[in-house]
Structure 1
Amino acid sequence: MIRAIRACKTAAEERAVVRKECAAIRAAINENDQDYRHRNLAKLMFIHMLGYPTHFGQMECLKLIASTGFPEKRIGYLGLMLLLDERQEVLMLYIVGLALCALGNISSAEMARDLAPDVERLMQFRDPNIRKKAALCSIRIIKKVPDLAENFMHPASSLLKEKHHGVLITGVQLCTDLCKVSSEALEYFRENCIEGLVKTLRDIANSPYSPEYDIAGITDPFLHIRLLKLLRILGQGDADASDCMTDILAQVASRTESNKNAGNAILYECVETIMSIEDNGGLRVLAINILGRFLSNRDNNIRYVGLNMLMKAIMVDAKAVQRHRATILECVKGFI
């Protein structure tokens, strides 16, 4: 590119070469080309020094800075110095994001108290990455200062309506931690959020193929598991809450494929949720049958977690476990 630009004899020729290169770089950005991202940013820095607009490549600086390789980080920081100035909003997003990451990792109780109002405000920010980092930072704050839990109940419940999976999964985790540190938060989420959580889990379980979130043919198993863990906490010791989630638990337990690890992870969490919520005989038989299938699996890790869960299940429904006695004995012989 540099050779082609230097070979230009007129300004019009130079502009034509720059337009062609910028179009190619835009196409690479749209395709999320990671292999040539650092080379494209180096080209943009040269184009910027010639006086041409390069604002479309500013986010590429942040992506390179977030990468793990040193050469990519170096180009990213060089681009940050050249392509951005104090008037650019993306620079503010970068600084706020770094501050939230630092606070979420090293904040003390005093820092948490002082900065909690700012973090709470950023949970409503328009950029989803900032909302996600603010939610993660809030988890650190409520663990350091449990008294602040009530300040985050309403913002956390609003995150449960998010369409962005990254924000949603952090919102679910924040609600889970709030329930652990505050009985008031637990009751609040039971009264206001169970129907929404059930709908979200149903939508994800029934969603069509999505390459962005798909793992082994299952849409976002990480979000599946986080939702099941939160439902388990909300259903424990509350018959009404347990009734609200029985249908979706039965659907997840019966329709999730068990031929991949992602599916087995979801089934395991679903079984643990079924065994933890208030009594539902039919669901518990279904859960114990899933554990019986785990014992027949060739993977020793899956057989182990199946046996481990059956130890808990026998305290709840011994008769259902007795039906799998032969399988359990065969499984034990296989370990000897």
Structure 2
Amino acid sequence: MSKHTTCALYLSFLALPALAQTAAAPEAPAAAVQPAAAEEPAPATVVVEGRRPGPGVWKVSKGDHVMWVFGLYSPLPQKMEWDASHVERLVAKSQEVLQPPGFTVGMSWWRGLTMLPTMIGLQNNPDGAKLQDVLPPDVYAHWQVMKDKYIGNDDGVERDRPIFAAEKLLHAGLKKNGLVQNMDVSGRIEKIAKQNKVKLTWTMLGIELDDPRTTLKAFKQAQMEDLACFTRTVENLDKDIGTMRAGANAWADGNIAAIARLDLAERDEVCADAVLNSSLAKTTSAFQNVRERIRANWMKAAEKSLADNTSTFALLQMKDIVGPHGYLADLQAKGYAVESPK
């Protein structure tokens, strides 16, 4: 990482995976994102267990220079063990590993310490309000049902902003269905790179706030446009968990065609919009056009590595590969050859 450290804020625009990983783009050419057709899978009612191969890799090339692209997915089955042997061979023969795109808000270690008191209570509703005070009665009634089902008796969550309460509900639902938000796969690949002395390249977009203390104080007092995110989560949680379970099983078994048929980003996009449409985000210059800047930052790193190395290994979220606006479509549009896994 750089000389700046990432400040561990509870701001949702630093935590939401959609904001960190997706962006609008032209429609992807079919060759880049459409795997071979397969029969529609039966609804997944259980999560897979044991040692699993995971997905294959995409090949991006120009001349004799190649970049192998591996799709990350979360959540994954709690009792699954990933067989990393194929990835290990590709990483070992590469000169560089590109870590996933996203963004961080950086500040010096000392400044981060002095900011800690300002961070207290960031995830709470302004003015001590509870969820019952900020939600429509019918939405709150549905929340209570889903909270009892997945979270149980936790009154502390009632003081959370809706977007944070929604995240807690989602994570609790995943856990009860044998799924876990997973960082082990990317961590395993990073470890493999280090063991083989392969260069690790950070592709996160670094953002500096001109006046972080004032920004945090403003956030604590501002309302967010997060009702749609909360409502979408509560009303569709059981369906979303089914989709995520199917995606987790498909990832574990390397079934790219099944993953491509799933909507992997719709809920995340709704919640990311809650952040991007907030008055604070619209008036803070550092957060303007974040999605586009994240994508451009990754593209710059990818093109440089393809030019410099004969072999590169890159990590992307699966939804940024097989989705309708995949990152690889940009490379294909620039003349790189893109091949999907067999």
Q: Given the two structures, how large is their TM-score scaled by the length of structure 1?
A: 0.21
Q: Could you say which structure has the larger radius of gyration? A: 1
Q: Given the two structures, how large is their TM-score scaled by the length of structure 2?
A: 0.21
Higher-helix-fraction structure:
1
Higher relative contact order (CA 8 A, sep 6+): 2
Higher-strand-fraction structure:
2
